[in-house]
Amino acid sequence: MRRVAKAGVSAGLTHLDERGRARMVDVGGKPETLREAKASALVRMSQATLSLINEGRAGARGEKPSKGDVLAVARIAALQGMKQTAILIPLCHPVRMVGSEVDLALDPSLPGVRILVTARALDRTGVEMEAMVGASVAALTIYDMVKGNERGVEIASVRLEKKRGGKSGVWVRGMGDERPGEAPSRALSLRGPRPTRHRSGV
């Protein structure tokens, strides 16, 4: 029977010692288990820019050539970002990643791109940060690919959707553990006319 994380917010900051100094949490005594985390992000833009992505013409303007397949580049960026998390985030442990998935979908209702990144590792600590960094880097890459067409593109709602593994068990967004005063939210679903999925072991 799987364990579901209890509602509420942890009272202490685990990355601070008793004197308030930053530290890397000691995970040496934990067993190596399979860990998984899913994180999402939204990239909002005009319908015209979204159409350019769909047509493979993002970045094109006048005689300037397009930058190519935006979603393909964003997928690779997400994978690279996940593997660089321990370098980018000071107190993160390097983890042994064993697999990943990057889901990207064009959604005219935003309008924009929905991103969902799954990270898996066999290690002593979770991969929440790897998933969130992957989603963030994918979103930033999409911005870089289309900024020549629209500077006002917005990156929004980078967040953890689900995690499993380790002592705390399973956590799913919307299960009732939001902060006081925060409305429950539903996990992001990928919608759109052209969903694109990528799976890769790393």
pLDDT tens-digit series, residues 98-150: 999 999 999 999 999 999 999 999 878 889 999 999 999 999 999 999 999 99
Amino acid 18: pLDDT? 64
In a domain, 54, yes or no: yes
In a domain, 180, yes or no: no
Smallest CA-to-CA distance from 32 within 184, 155, 165 is with 165
In a domain, 57, yes or no: yes
Distance separating alpha carbons of residues 50 and 53, to the nearest angstrom: 5
In a domain, 65, yes or no: yes
In a domain, 49, yes or no: yes
Between residues 199 and 124, the one the model is more confident about: 124
Host domain of residue 48? 33-174
If one counts the domains in the chain, the total is 1
Angle at the Cα of 199 from the Cα atoms of 119 and 27, rounded to 5 degrees = 20
Predicted TM-score (pTM) of the model is: 0.75
In a domain, 160, yes or no: yes
In a domain, 179, yes or no: no
Q: Which residues are catalytic?
A: 144
Distance separating alpha carbons of residues 30 and 3, to the nearest angstrom: 17
Per residue in 53-112, pLDDT (tens digit) is 998 877 666 555 566 799 999 999 999 999 999 899 888 778 889 999 999 999 999 999
Angle at the Cα of 191 from the Cα atoms of 114 and 46, rounded to 5 degrees = 55
Distant-in-sequence, close-in-space partners of 20: CB < 8 Å, separation ≥ 6: none
CATH number at residue 88: 3.30.70.640
Q: How confident is the model at residue 11 (pLDDT cuts 50, 70, 90)?
A: low
Query: Does residue 174 contact residue 186 with C-beta atoms inside 8 Å?
Result: yes
